């Protein structure tokens, strides 16, 4: 279990020397902190063990061996890349759970964007390499498994932040990137070419992570992000997510004539609350909102 830190570690200000990675109290995640601080600890076995304990504590279940192995293999490359790109002070959540438990994001980067907005970068991490694109929503992996196209997947995650931000919340500039850290440039290009309507989301290979430091921030969609201050991070974590009018109208059209469903704009989540409306919507947005 993660340690309860003192006042200097209020869930926003980051890690201190010799402390456990502090999981944000307002969001479900296995760890959060400045990219440089997490990068310094990510290959420590005790770090991964604490993340596994936190995974269960926040209600994600018990992580399997494959899940934990994916953390060991995928977290170091993305954290090292952020540090090498000069982004040591952006805030990173590992295994960020969307409110209501609808989805888990491999990594979420939060930084200060130009104009006072908060910049979010949703990062989808994949260990696999070769695949065949079946359509814009599905791929066939080399092991024979049919799975969601990672660009479509991360676009749906991006859609959550775009369509559930209440008007009272900070302005968000939401980006997304897929990182296939074991793939070659050619293997990543296959996915990039099959991305369809969400082709604005880059698919990076392991070779891309070796790009010159001056280019790396741009590849990661973080080129204009700077370190968020503690109040920025707190403001993000305290957002009470609710569906936008556009989203409600769209879902209402889809569900028209289905009397079992009733959605209202009062379906808010955050701060540990949820509603039946949220459960319906949380299951819906992840496979429909990609544009």
Cα 83 from chain centre: 18
Query: pLDDT by residue (tens digit) across 169-215?
Result: 999 999 999 998 888 788 877 776 655 556 688 989 989 999 999 99
Q: What angle do CA 281, 287, 291 make, to 5 degrees?
A: 100
Residue with tokens 């936008």: 244
Residue 3's pLDDT is: 27
Whether the pLDDT of residue 51 is over 50: the answer is: yes
Residue with tokens 């494959």: 66
Whether the pLDDT of residue 119 is over 80: the answer is: yes
Q: Which residues contact 286 (CB under 8 A, 6 or more apart)?
A: 102, 103, 156, 157, 160
Residue 183's pLDDT is: 80
Inter-residue contact 154 to 97 (CB < 8 Å): no
Residue with tokens 């090292």: 80
Angstrom CA distances, 174 to 62, 146, 158, stand at 30, 28, 6
The more confidently predicted of residues 20 and 166 is: 166
In whole angstroms, give the CA distance from residue 242 to residue 244.
Answer: 6
State both tokens at 27: 């969001």
Helical spans, DSSP H, in the chain: 35-41, 45-57, 65-84, 150-163, 185-193, 213-219, 230-237, 245-255, 276-288
Inter-residue contact 54 to 6 (CB < 8 Å): no
Residue 165's region, left for phi above 0, alpha for psi from -120 to 50, else beta, is beta
**DSSP H or E segment with residue 173:** strand 172-180
Query: pLDDT by residue (tens digit) across 12-30?
Result: 333 333 334 434 447 899 9
State both tokens at 11: 């869930």
Residue 147's pLDDT is: 72
Candidate ranges 14-23, 47-56, 145-154; pick with highest mean pLDDT: 47-56
Inter-residue contact 116 to 172 (CB < 8 Å): no
Residue 129's pLDDT band, with cuts at 50, 70 and 90, is: low
Residue 237's pLDDT band, with cuts at 50, 70 and 90, is: very high
Whether the pLDDT of residue 106 is over 60: the answer is: yes
The more confidently predicted of residues 179 and 147 is: 179
Residue 85's pLDDT is: 97
> How would you class 76 by CB atoms within 10 Å of its CB: exposed for 0-12, middle for 13-18, buried for 19 or more?
middle
Residue 7's pLDDT band, with cuts at 50, 70 and 90, is: very low
Under DSSP, is residue 9 helix (H, G, I), strand (E, B) or coil?
coil
CA dihedral over 122, 99, 263, 119, signed as positive or negative: negative
Residue 287's pLDDT is: 40
Among the listed residues 242, 263, 115, 111, the one whose alpha carbon sits nearest the alpha carbon of residue 168: 242
Query: pLDDT by residue (tens digit) across 80-99?
Result: 999 999 999 999 999 999 87
Rounded to the nearest integer, the mean pLDDT of the chain is 77
Question: Which residues are 91's β-sheet partners?
Answer: 34, 110
Query: pLDDT by residue (tens digit) across 31-46?
Result: 999 999 999 999 999 9
Whether the pLDDT of residue 252 is over 60: the answer is: no
**Lowest-pLDDT range, 59-73, 202-216, 243-257?**
243-257
Whether the pLDDT of residue 221 is over 50: the answer is: yes
Residue 62's pLDDT is: 94
In whole angstroms, give the CA distance from residue 137 to residue 191.
Answer: 11
In whole angstroms, give the CA distance from residue 111 to residue 34.
Answer: 10
Residue 257's pLDDT is: 55
Residue 268's pLDDT is: 47
Residue 271's pLDDT is: 43
């Amino acid at each position: 279990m993660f340690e309860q830190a003192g006042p200097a570690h209020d869930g926003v200000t980051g890690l201190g020397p010799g402390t456990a990675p502090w999981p944000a109290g307002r969001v479900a995640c296995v760890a959060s902190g400045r990219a440089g601080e997490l990068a310094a600890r990510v290959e420590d076995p005790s770090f991964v063990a604490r993340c596994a304990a936190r995974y269960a504590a926040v209600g994600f279940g018990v992580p399997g061996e494959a899940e934990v192995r994916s953390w060991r293999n995928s977290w170091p490359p993305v954290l090292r890349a952020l540090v090498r790109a000069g982004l040591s002070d952006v805030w990173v959540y590992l295994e960020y759970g969307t409110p209501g438990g609808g989805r888990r994001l491999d990594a979420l980067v939060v930084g200060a964007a130009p104009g006072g907005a908060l910049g979010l970068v949703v990062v989808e991490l994949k260990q696999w390499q070769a695949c065949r694109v079946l359509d814009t929503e599905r791929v066939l992996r080399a092991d024979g498994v049919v799975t969601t196209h990672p660009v479509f997947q991360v676009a749906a995650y991006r859609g959550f932040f775009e369509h559930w931000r209440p008007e009272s919340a900070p302005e968000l500039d939401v980006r997304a990137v897929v990182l296939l850290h074991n793939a070659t440039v050619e293997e990543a290009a296959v996915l990039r070419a099959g991305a369809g309507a969400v082709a604005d989301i880059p698919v990076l290979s392991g070779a891309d992570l070796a790009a010159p430091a001056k280019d790396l921030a741009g590849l990661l969609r973080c080129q204009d992000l700077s370190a968020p201050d503690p109040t920025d991070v707190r403001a993000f974590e305290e957002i009470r997510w609710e569906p936008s009018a556009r989203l409600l109208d769209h879902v209402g059209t889809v569900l028209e004539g289905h009397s079992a469903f009733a959605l209202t704009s009062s379906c808010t989540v955050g701060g540990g609350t949820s509603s039946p409306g949220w459960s319906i919507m949380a299951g819906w947005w992840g496979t429909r909102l990609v544009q």
